[in-house]
A and B are shown apart, each in its own frame.
Chain A
Amino acid sequence: MANSRIRRLVFIERWREYVIYYTFFGIFLFFSIFLFNKGFLSVGNILNIARQTAMISIMAIGMTFVLSAEEIDLSFGSVVALSAIIAALVLRWTDSTILSFLAGISCGIFIGFLNGIFVAKIGIPSFLITLGMSGIVTGVARWISRLQSIAVNNNTFTFLFGSGDVGIIPILFLWTLLIGCVGHFLLKKTAFGRKVLATGGNREAALYSGINVSNIKLSVLMINGALASLAGILYTGRLHGARYTLGENDLLIVIASVIIGGTSLFGGKGTVVGSIVGAIIMGMLNNGLILFGFTVDWQLISRGIIIIIAVTLTLGNKK
């Protein structure tokens, strides 16, 4: 009797692990059939989805680490904007792609560090600190940009960070691939990744096993800050300019991608690959809804509904 219960639990777990892939193929099949005439499957459209998905994927990878350690970061949307603006300003002043990149990334790492100090060393819940931080960072972004767009005309920068293609492959796709591989190996194959999952799985047991849990929390928030900055820089390269509104609508989509991908909101379980697939599902939905001719309000409504259905399928079954 106990055995069949265990088997049932194992089955539910397997189902949760793979539901993301069924969902992916389901939606892909649906759009392929019903949007065939509108060119959903055309090379141009597929590459377009790849471009649109890149930034969400990269942010989702950072969030995977944060959620795996049982923390959350609500400030990353604002970090996207501020890093983009700082990178664009530094580029304007120095015309150096490297300096601009470093300045943008440092901004995110620094904000992640501040978040981490409050969470790991002082013991404030990450939910509150990052929510407060998001207000500060948004304010700073609006203030230093004076609510203006900052245009970027450096071709090296725009090629490397967003607009370029290598052959027919968008450079944004290569960025996703790079960060995805590094993230996957870091989380699944290194001591650090194991410590992140252990911290999220059971903080006390991790502590008693000799894991420095506060350093782990600090690290994941810094990683997330760095990846939010990278997303900001990629937005800047792709749009040829930075603006304080960048990233402001990404919060829901990124967290939904990660949860649908199979990472636990309650720590201890995380998958970078799942998060990327989750982000692609979000991109595909966006693209499909536009091709169906939905207006923006209906896109928002349908996307909300689909996210709720997907998250219910992933997290439900609480009985």
Chain B
Amino acid sequence: MTNDEKQREFHDLLAVNRGRLWAIARSFSDSSDIDDLFQEILLQLWKSIDSFAGDSSRETWVYRVALNTALTHRRQLSRRERNLPTTTVDTEVVQQRHEQSCEEQILDEFLQGLSPVDRALMLLFLDDLTHREMANVTGMNENQVSVRLHRIRQKFNQQYLESEP
């Protein structure tokens, strides 16, 4: 692939997936480093663009690159956080929460409470991917995906439905 072709390909890819990539970055980082993770995802997409062989859909491929990058970023962030004091209040988070609707807050809170794998799966669910596509992205089989999604649904119901009057 020539550099121009690569650039065109990347441009098209970004035009379709930008919002999705931003959402992944937002779900896997602190408010202060969303931009960093977003840039890192774009960088990995650019580097991986030659490896797209067409054996999976473009959408699935984008998810794989973005989620692998986000999970790696999350690991590195956790390592850094272990060495930092956590007494400061993130004013950006407070501001963001203030601007969010109640439903958005529930969604964010629920996503943040999930394990990294469940969070990744949940993002795929929210974007309407089929179980087969989810299995393709995560490396689990379709049965495992169903079981996990069922548990996530149960967890949500326990947390937010059973507490409703």
Q: Tell me whether A and B are bound partners.
A: no
